[in-house]
């Protein structure tokens, strides 16, 4: 693994481009996350932006795709590797075909179609539009995470709310889009000419090279 300390969004992007994949939080594979590489003093610092604040600029750069791609947890994926990742996770299905074959629920369809229609939607806007509120629909987090795990939806930005004096407050609110909207449909689906299994094999072989500390089971868990 590279000997590096992350101190800026640009540092994260450079590392994602080198490794292809980078979880936000530490997981089963040691030395493979933003959390482990980041300078400790930048976590929740009052004087400087840190990893929480970097996520939006990194996503907006379009050099990485960000979402809950790894066991329901957040991960950055480089542009280079995202088409193979999408081909593997989608199993050869675009979303409409998945729904028509009974492999996606009506809740999945409604959230996905709302994002496609509006192109960019905050989580709170999605919840309001589709009645995910007290006494209404339930399971928003489950559905939006599943759509990310299947690579149909990603996080395009984090938007901060502002108080009456114009100062930002609270955590950034996730803004959702689709990889096709951000990177272009032809690019995202460019690996569709391969069998999904071949895309998985390409990713696995790459990760074995850049993650010599990982065993095959850990790599399998990461990508499937």
Instruction: Write down the pLDDT at residue 193.
Output: 94
CB atoms under 10 Å from CB of 131, counted, come to: 10
Q: Using DSSP, how many helices (H) and how many strands (E) does the chain show?
A: 12, 6
CA distance 79 to 13: 10
Q: What average pLDDT does range 17-34 have in this prediction?
A: 95
pTM of the model: 0.93
Residue 164 has pLDDT above 80, yes or no: no
Instruction: Write down the pLDDT at residue 59.
Output: 96
Q: What average pLDDT does range 141-154 have in this prediction?
A: 98
Compute φ and ψ for 140, nearest 5 degrees. -55, -50
The pair of three-digit structure tokens given for residue 134, joined into one six-digit string: 């007290």
Residue 167 has pLDDT above 70, yes or no: no
Q: Is the Cβ–Cβ distance between 173 and 158 less than 8 Å?
A: yes
Instruction: Write down the pLDDT at residue 113.
Output: 98
Q: Is the Cβ–Cβ distance between 21 and 207 less than 8 Å?
A: yes
Please state whether 196 falls in left (phi above 0), alpha (psi between -120 and 50) or beta.
alpha
174: which strand partners? 158
- Give CA angle at 203 (79, 82), nearest 5°: 20
CB atoms under 10 Å from CB of 134, counted, come to: 5
């Amino acid at each position: 693994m590279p000997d590096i300390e992350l101190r800026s969004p640009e540092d994260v992007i450079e590392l994602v481009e080198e490794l292809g994949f980078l979880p936000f939080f530490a997981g089963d594979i040691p030395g493979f996350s933003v959390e482990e590489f980041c300078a400790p003093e930048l976590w929740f610092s009052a004087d400087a932006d840190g990893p929480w604040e970097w996520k939006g600029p990194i996503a907006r750069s379009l050099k990485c795709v960000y979402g809950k791609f790894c066991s329901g947890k957040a991960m950055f994926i480089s542009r280079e590797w995202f088409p193979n990742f999408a081909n593997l996770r989608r199993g050869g299905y675009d979303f409409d075909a998945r729904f028509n074959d009974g492999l996606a629920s009506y809740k999945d369809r409604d959230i996905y179609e709302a994002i496609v229609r509006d192109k960019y939607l905050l989580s709170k806007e999605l919840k309001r539009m589709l009645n995910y509120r007290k006494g209404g629909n339930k399971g928003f987090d489950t559905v939006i995470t599943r759509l990310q795990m299947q690579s149909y939806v990603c996080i395009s930005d984090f938007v901060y709310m502002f108080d009456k004096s114009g100062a930002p407050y609270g955590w950034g609110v996730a803004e959702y889009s689709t990889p096709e909207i951000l990177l272009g449909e032809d690019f995202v689906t460019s690996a569709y000419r391969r069998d999904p299994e071949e895309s998985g094999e390409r990713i696995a072989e790459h990760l074995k090279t850049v993650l010599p500390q990982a065993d095959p089971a850990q790599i399998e868990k990461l990508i499937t």
